[in-house]
Amino acid sequence: MTGPSWPVTTWQGWQHFATTPPPTPPQPGQAPRTPEERLAYHSAFVTVRTPAIDTLARHVRTLMILGRHQSTTARPSLIVTGPAAAGKTTALLHVGRTCHLAHTHRNPTPPGHHPQVPVAYVLVPPGATAKTLTAEFARYLGIPVTTRMTQAQITDAVCHTYNTAGVQLVLIDEIHRLNPRTTTGAQAADLLKDLTERIHATFVYAGIDVTATPLFSGVRGAQLAGRATLITCGPLPARHGPTRPFTDVIIDLENALDLTAHRPGTLSRHAAYLHQRTAGRIGSLTRLIRQAAITAITDGTEKITKATLDAVQLDHLAEQQARPARRR
């Protein structure tokens, strides 16, 4: 079965993403799935709730209520920051899907009406200019843009259409690509400020180590910092007081496996090794377990062992950090 042709940065792709039930772990009494079905399942896999997802969901819910009747100035916004592979985009998409489903459940679309658009998801393009960034907003809702249109005309069309469609939450990913120190980057940053004041929605940004980028520098950076709440989506610690948040995520991921010979508790016993191997990054951990599960199905062992995990070559960042310990 092939996926949709529309990317998630378009309304058609987002609606498909938000309304398609996520993969579900094997259920008691369920007929065994075929190897192909289980390979597909581990390829997509589940999204486990992390502290970052819970924090983001709580703040988004609060700020959407806070800004519901604010119309004269920009609503308060959120910035999700952290290193690569820390789960920022996963958290953003999870919260966006939850908002979409909650809104459409409370406000079902009457027959014959266009479906509601409560959430928009936009990627900042590389080397973003005001025009290319506006084009991404327009593309999401299929707003026609011609070469003869001025920047102001495109912006007016975007703001009008987003407000008419009832967009309540705007998710902007890869925000670290903006560089207000350049002329074009400054114009793109000014455009974002304009959009937050004219579109009646809560804006949530996500990017890699945003506070270390030019985005928070100068007058424009001060304006953004004065309006946005910063949420850090960093590596999970092995211990946090009496709790073990990294081990909790491992247990959730292990419970979701669909392997016929895997012994529960195997992965949690290797929590220290997994933390060292992935530096606590959720993205690297999930990829490691998914690849190990796929290997276990294809080679017929149907279980994940430390040897299976050690044989997986992870992303370069994780491998570079794990290499000194693995040379011993």
pLDDT digits (tens, 9 = 90+) for 80-117: 999 988 899 999 999 999 999 999 999 888 887 777 89
pLDDT at 114: 78
pTM of the entire predicted model: 0.88
pLDDT at 322: 62
Number of Cα atoms under 13 Å in the Cβ half of residue 325 = 14
Residue ranges, the chain, pLDDT below 50: 1-3, 325, 327-328
Three-class SS string for the chain? CCCCCCCCCCHHHHHHHHHCCCCCCCCCCCCCCCHHHHHHHHHHCCCCCCHHHHHHHHHHHHHHHHCCCCCCCCCCEEEEEECCCCCHHHHHHHHHHHHHHHHHHHCCCCCCCCCCCCEEEEECCCCCCHHHHHHHHHHHCCCCCCCCCCHHHHHHHHHHHHHHHCCCEEEEECHHHCCCCCHHHHHHHHHHHHHHHHCCCEEEEEEECHHHCHHHCHHHHHHHHHHEEEEECCCCCCCECCECHHHHHHHHHHHCCCCCCCCCCHHHHCHHHHHHHHCCCHHHHHHHHHHHHHHHHHCCCCCCCHHHHHHCCCCHHHHHHHHHHHCC
What's the rounded Cα separation, in Å, for the pair 107 and 321? 48
Closest to 59 in 3D by CA, of 19, 90, 99:
99
What would the two tokens of residue 37 be? 């079905």
pLDDT at 72: 65
Closest to 172 in 3D by CA, of 202, 195, 206:
206
pLDDT at 271: 96
What's the rounded Cα separation, in Å, for the pair 160 and 146? 17
pLDDT at 80: 94
